[in-house]
Each structure stands twice: as structure tokens, then as C-alpha cells.
Amino acid sequence: MSLFRTHSAAVFGIEGRPVEIEVDMYNAGMIRDIIMVGMPDTAVKESRERIKSALMNSGFGFPNKSVTINLAPANVRKEGAGFDLPVAMAILGAMGTVSRCGDHLLAGELSLDGGLRPIRGALSIAVCAQRQGLKSLIVPKENAAEAAVVEGLSVYGLAHLSEAVALVNKPGAFAPLAPTNGEAARLGQEAALDFIDVRGQAATKRALEVAAAGGHNVLMVGPPGSGKTMLAKRLAGILPPLSFAEALETTQVHSVAGALAKGAGLMGTRPFRSPHHTISDAGLLGGGPGMPRPGEVSLAHHGVLFLDELPEFPRNVLELLRQPLEERSVTIARSQMTLSFPANFMLVGAMNP
């Protein structure tokens, strides 16, 4: 067998989109090329060297042939190191080392010794696998907990390329991670800060309780040391617990941004974000070079965005808050794509008189 296919996914915004990896091998005389097509970015192109070393150091060897790797659909840009594992498995399939793995979706970065490193957006990739009707998902073990919240999908968290090969060839060799039920969305809610630590400030606490009940934005004005920041940090703790749907969406945003703790599953507490007043436009709303990333307004989704020293923020940055406050989402337009990130948050500002 010289042609082999595997399934993977690319993350656009907070959504995963299916990507099919095709690998073909052929004899081309003395030339031994590895050609990758399908609009890969620099990180994906560099995977050729990582994959070759990983295969060699894992004892699988590397074919003495020319290799063509196609990432389909070819008109969509591919970004990140998460395609290392599916490309390596497709090469092994073309070599005859692994059998068909059409029921698996694979995602993971490879180290030079074949180890699997965590990736961004594992939860979005898991949702994509479920929508595609695939039976299982193979990801690095650090990403398994967040991916396991998706129902109807067997999630395998592995540590090495050799384990992925063993799983595909012998499906019973590894047990999937136990699925996380909806109650996980409420785990850790007790750890959130609340008003129990605040003495006095009865009028301010009452105002914040009314704002929390109605989802209103707040501006606190007072001298330094009067407790504005302390009260703002505890506002998220008196908001209602996250529902499962809210926790899923919030976790997706943080997963795509790489803000989830190592090995973390579903987020259980409402986020509290407090950016510095020197933040840039892209840092607040999202964007950046390459594939746009979520900004602070999206990382505060279903939580609180706290702007301390509000008058110190540049006027143009504050003006950018109009769209997310009105539409509860942020749309970032680029020449080749337009992405939307959710941004349903409570805005709390603080300033001196």
C-alpha cells in the first residue's frame, strides 16, 4: 500500500473543521523528496523534520522513497503543530506498519523522540469529530480531559507515537478515558472568590448584587485603597453557576487561546479577566498574525472583564468595546477569512475620582 488517509481537524475561531491527510509514496530515482501541499503554514511545513526524526527514533524507520503529503481541503490554510500525529500515522499506513484508521480522528504535536505534546483547541477538535460521525479521538494525554466532555466519542489520551500505532492495530490495547458528565461544569465553583471576605461596603455590595442579577455593566469610582479591585474580583463568584452549555463554550475559547491549565477538563468557574491598560487592540478584541486568536473580551465570555484605571486605557481601545457590548460577539475580518468569537461578558470599570 502506497496511498493512505487519516482524519484530523483544523481550528478556525472556536470551531473545528475536518481535514483529511493523504500520503502517497513512489520511487523517483535518486531523488528522495518530502513534498507537503494544501496551504500549510510554517509550523506545518516544519513538521516534516519532526516527523522524520520521530519515526526514526521510535524504531519505525523512514521510507526510502519520495513522499507527497496532501492536507485537504487544499484551499483552506492549515496552521499549528497538531497535524504531526495524523501525518506520521498516514506515513506509517503507507509503509504498511498500521492498518486502516478511518474511524479515528488524530491530533497532536510530535517531539523528536516520538512523544506527544499538547495542542490548542482539543475540545473544538473533539466536537468536530463527533459531528463527523467518527467513533474515537486520539490526542496527547494532557488534552484528553477537556476532549472527554463530548458525548458519544471515545477519547484516548496517549503519550507516545508507538502507543497510537498499537491502538490502531489492536483496538483493545487501550481503554478510552471515562467521559465527563455535565456536573463537571460546576466543579470548582466553591473555590471562586465571593463577598464573604468583604467587611462593610454594604451599599456597594448591594449595587453589585443587582448588577449581577441583571447582567448590567458597572463603573466604580473611589480613591485608591477603597476596595474597588477586591470587590470586582469577587463579582464572578456571586454570579450563577455555569451551565453545561456555558462551560463547554467557555472552555472552547480558553482551549483555542492556550489558556487552559495542563490536564484541565471543563471549566467550572466563571472567568475573570483584568488586562493592563497598555493592552493593544488585538490583545483586547483578538487577532494577531496568522490565524486570529481570542482576545480578552472573548476570554471573559460568560464572566467578568475588569478594566482597572479605566481612564488610562487609550480612547481607540475603549471604542472597540462597542461591538462586543452590543452584539455579544467579536468579528475579525482578514483578507482570506472572517472569524467570530463569542464575547458575552459583564464589563466592570474602576477609576479614581
Is 179 contained in some domain? no
CATH number at residue 48: 3.30.230.10
**Span 102-161, pLDDT tens digits:** 889 999 999 999 999 999 999 999 999 999 999 899 999 999 999 998 988 999 999 999
Shared domain check, 323 and 230: yes
Shared domain check, 235 and 300: yes
Say yes or no to pLDDT of 189 above 50: no
Is 328 contained in some domain? yes
Shared domain check, 254 and 122: no
Ramachandran region of residue 39, left (φ > 0), alpha (ψ -120 to 50) or beta? left
- The Cα 241–Cα 27 span in angstroms is 60
Answer with the one of 173, 193, 215 that is the final residue of a domain. Answer: 173
Shared domain check, 213 and 283: yes
Shared domain check, 95 and 57: yes
Shared domain check, 190 and 144: no
Is 178 contained in some domain? no
Q: Which domain holds residue 54?
A: 3-173
Please count the structural domains in the chain.
2
**Span 233-273, pLDDT tens digits:** 999 888 988 888 899 999 999 999 988 887 778 888 899 99
CATH number at residue 292: 3.40.50.300
Shared domain check, 153 and 189: no
Shared domain check, 209 and 289: yes
Say yes or no to pLDDT of 184 above 90: no
Is 16 contained in some domain? yes
Answer with the one of 173, 194, 210 that is the final residue of a domain. Answer: 173
215 burial (CB, 10 Å; 0-12 / 13-18 / 19+) is exposed
Shared domain check, 312 and 259: yes
Answer with the one of 126, 146, 173 that is the final residue of a domain. Answer: 173
Structure-block grid coordinates of residue 161: 507515537
Average pLDDT over the chain reads: 89
Shared domain check, 169 and 38: yes
Shared domain check, 112 and 188: no
**Span 267-300, pLDDT tens digits:** 888 999 999 999 999 999 998 777 788 999 999 9
Shared domain check, 95 and 45: yes
